[in-house]
Chain A
Amino acid sequence: MRTIILGVGNQILGNDGVGIHVTNSLKKHVKDPNITIDDAVTGGMNLLELILGYDKAIIIDAVKMENGEDGEVKKILLNDFSTMHSCNPHDVSLIEAIEVAKKMGENRIPKEIIIIGITMKQIPCEFGEKLSPKIAAALPKAVKMTLNEIKKDIKISI
């Protein structure tokens, strides 16, 4: 069972990079040859290519929820998104990318794709490396939730 954990986001865009803060922390806890931990400043087709060949993919990312609170941590299944566009006119969504890949007979798509989302009302538009207090406070929960997803498969050293 091979798993990839990807922190997705932009580290120089404040809260937007929260996923990478989570994977940085996970790297300290998890040392297992069957678990790959990485980060990605990308979406759509590129994101899909990064997870191909693994049995399970866990994507940790900022989720914009205008009606939600800052700093909630949610486990979201890919199917729960009705549309998941990459927030960019120059890319397709991960869902679209997966649909295309399936249509092409791609057989390396992970059987299980889980998204650990850290909610925020606004995605920042200002450069910076720091997380806001509410988002920073959500880190331990996001780390724990991710570890829960993999604990049955691996050794964890804390």
Chain B
Amino acid sequence: MKTITIDPITRLEGHGKISIFLDGKGDVENAYLQIPELRGFERFAQGRRAEDMPQITSRICGVCPVAHHFASTKALDAAFSVDPPSAAKKLRELMYCGYFIYDHILHFYFLGGPDFVVGPDAPAAKRNVLGVIEKAGLEIGKEVIKHRAYGQKITAILGGKATHPVCGLPGGVSKGLNKDEVKDIENMTKSCIDFAQFSLKLFNDIVLQNKDYVNLILSDPYQLKTYNMGLVDKNNKVNFYDGKIRVTDQQGKEKVKFDVKDYTKYVAEHVEEWSYIKFPYLKSIGWNGFKDGKDSGIYRVGPLGRLNAAEGMATPLANKEYKKMFETLGGKAVNSTLAFHWARLIELLYATERAMELIKDPEITSTKIRNPVGEPGEGMGVTEAARGTLIHHYKLDKKGLIDKANLIVATTNNSGAINMSIRDAAKGIIKKGKVNDGLLNMVEMAFRAYDPCFACATHTLPGGMPLEVNIYDKDKKLYKTLRRNF
């Protein structure tokens, strides 16, 4: 392939810019997604008090504050050589379940789901949560709102503030639970379990019972045979909060399993001159370009990555759904990008069941929630953000100030795969230079499945999630532009 150089200055212009390059026949040769990456975190963190990091990093992203908060807190546990009391770990994990509940509900009903529930061919103006409510009914809409808010409330009770938790401390948490709070969380969780089951039924009725949708899920442009990565517990079951990082191959067989502290032995980052986003890959396989298959070190994280990388769910109802998904989609590994949506709902059910186990655990009201810290040093912490494996790595000086800080965020772990999915979606729809209006939809569906969290202000008004697709001919001349939200 000819080398394409894109002026680095243009790298940061706008959000979600996709460049598609055609070959001599007018078919897709390659495609590049360019997204802005927040810079300068290491310098920003340097010299700050280590214990401030969980608060600071929870502000990095308006989407996953809880994930950053605990990846950071866990990195501090390691850096101060302290193992939190078991009650503290349970409280953290419970809060984490609340976060998954609201995050996955939001994605399925508001963002990813509309493509299916309303239909992939429906006009963009209909493919949103209002379209879902129109189709599923007002009562269901109310349930969606209620249970998303329950997830938020569970998180807020434990974290102090839902959108900006303040509870994580090296060695434990700052706040326990009283009996009233336990009752409150238990009631909400009970309702959330029912709702998660309902959501899976909805998926079954609307998506799986529709042959066209199943064919779409299994269609070529949405297949990507990469490795998969996720945290697992000691039984190789999915865990969001703790465990070992497990990587499986295209057939679901274990490739490696390691502690986060050994992360750099197993994963390296590839740099492309056209993007500030790095492309992580498995060291033992190596970087072989934007290709899938066993000879390419690219892997996927997030709901489908986690389910592929594990051998089941640790709770009964979710495990049943787990088995059903793999049976329906042809065994392990499931390589269909659109199956991320299904996997997300199975995780929602797991989060609710796990929350129930934790809230019923007598230890959850324990007041022994913090252990004294040791001397400052170096530490890494890992959690599963809703959208994939998230790692914080700090080196502290003798005073406990940050000397070095590095973060590997979930969307970065998926960056190679997202890029390929966009390319393949484009390949499926652009033939002999013919571009039809469905392109934006197909491309959007490809990257939306990953629930990516692009680094950009979460709230900028009017902002928009602008999407621009530029298509270039074989001479690299601009051939066509499609835009949305500009």
**In the complex, which residues of chain B have a beta carbon less than 8 angstroms from the beta carbon of A101?**
145
Residues of B within 8 A of A (CB): 12, 15-16, 36-41, 43-44, 56, 59-60, 62-63, 65, 103, 106-107, 110-111, 128-130, 133, 138, 141-142, 145, 148-149, 152, 162-164, 387, 447-448, 451-465, 485
Min CB distance B100 to A, Å, is: 13
Interface string of A85-101 (1 = CB under 8 A from B): 11111111010100111
Q: Which of A24-32, A35-43, A132-140, A142-150 participates in binding chain B?
A: A35-43
The residue in chain A whose Cβ has the minimal distance to the Cβ of B141 is: A104
Residues of A within 8 A of B (CB): 8-13, 16, 40-43, 45-47, 49, 61-64, 76, 81-92, 94, 96, 99-101, 103-104, 115, 117, 123, 125-128
A61–B59 Cα distance when bound, in Å, is 16
Residue among B37, B59, B103 with the most chain A CB within 10 A? B59
A84–B460 Cα distance when bound, in Å, is 9
**In the complex, which residues of chain A have a beta carbon less than 8 angstroms from the beta carbon of B60?**
12
Cβ-closest 6 pairs across A and B: A87-B463, A127-B44, A43-B459, A87-B460, A85-B464, A127-B40
A45–B152 Cα distance when bound, in Å, is 11
Choose one: A12, A13, A84; the contact of B461 (CB below 8 Å): A84
**In the complex, which residues of chain A have a beta carbon less than 8 angstroms from the beta carbon of B128?**
92, 96
B459→A8 contact, CB < 8 A: yes
**In the complex, which residues of chain B have a beta carbon less than 8 angstroms from the beta carbon of A13?**
38, 457
Choose one: A46, A62, A88, A100; the contact of B152 (CB below 8 Å): A46
A126–B63 Cα distance when bound, in Å, is 18
**In the complex, which residues of chain B have a beta carbon less than 8 angstroms from the beta carbon of A99?**
130
Min CB distance A39 to B, Å, is: 9
A-B contact number at CB 8 A: 163
A45–B145 Cα distance when bound, in Å, is 9
Given A41-B163, A128-B44, A88 and B129 touching (CB < 8 A)?
Answer: no
A104→B142 contact, CB < 8 A: yes
Min CB distance A47 to B, Å, is: 7
B107→A90 contact, CB < 8 A: yes
A64–B142 Cα distance when bound, in Å, is 33
Min CB distance A133 to B, Å, is: 19
B462→A64 contact, CB < 8 A: yes
Min CB distance B208 to A, Å, is: 25
**In the complex, which residues of chain B have a beta carbon less than 8 angstroms from the beta carbon of A49?**
149, 152
Given A63-B460, A64-B463, A90-B453, A96 and B44 touching (CB < 8 A)?
Answer: no
Given A41-B163, A103-B138, A61 and B56 touching (CB < 8 A)?
Answer: no
A47→B38 contact, CB < 8 A: no
B38→A125 contact, CB < 8 A: yes
**In the complex, which residues of chain B have a beta carbon less than 8 angstroms from the beta carbon of A103?**
130, 133, 138, 141
**In the complex, which residues of chain A have a beta carbon less than 8 angstroms from the beta carbon of B451?**
89-90
B457→A123 contact, CB < 8 A: yes
Min CB distance B431 to A, Å, is: 27
Choose one: A45, A61, A88, A92; the contact of B453 (CB below 8 Å): A88
A87→B110 contact, CB < 8 A: no
Choose one: A62, A100, A125; the contact of B130 (CB below 8 Å): A100
A32–B207 Cα distance when bound, in Å, is 52
Min CB distance A23 to B, Å, is: 14
